Structure 1
């Protein structure tokens, strides 16, 4: 099974009645009625094309890209200092 790289787009809109049209551009995940935005997942290869098409729509205010795929998620362990390790064992 091939896993496709995806990225989220946050689409700010003006009216709730146009949400059905947003489903054409990607996988609609969630919609905020109060703040009037929607989260859509799109393939990373097609992201520039989808952003330009979404920005052309009359009911869309702006489109933001998520930076989650570009954030490093592998963390390094910090070595515990010997004095702190001793204090933890003593209960201080």
Structure 2
């Protein structure tokens, strides 16, 4: 039902021109101060799309986001230390 998506961070020279990246994928966030865009692309067509995005004159570099590879399930194997700090 849902296609697999991959996140990329696109560093740009001009954040106003970066709004044009919406036609290549799903723009999640645009940073005006640091001049980067977080964009999600379809995994099957990501390589072709990245080649086209890299050719744009306002794009400096593209980095892959590793957010989907970070473990989000946590276990509490550490003992609870709240009893040591109570009065």
TM over 0.5: yes
Do structure 1's residue 66 and structure 2's residue 65 form an aligned pair? yes
TM-score by length of 2: 0.76
* Gaps in structure 1 of 5+ consecutive residues: 81-87
Quote the offset at 1:16 in angstroms.
2.0
Once the 2 structures are TM-superposed, how far is the Cα of residue 69 of structure 1 from its aligned partner?
A: 3.1
CA distance in 1, matches of 2:2, 2:38: 20
Q: What residue in structure 2 maps to residue 14 of structure 1? A: 13
User: Aligned pairs, how many?
Assistant: 86
Q: Which residue of 2 aligns with 1:55?
A: 54
1:13-92 map, 5 Å: 13-73=12-72, 78=77
Residue ranges of structure 2 left out of the alignment (5+ in a row): none
Q: How far did residue 12 of structure 1 move?
A: 0.4
Could you say what the CA RMSD is over the residues aligned between the two structures, in angstroms? Answer: 2.5
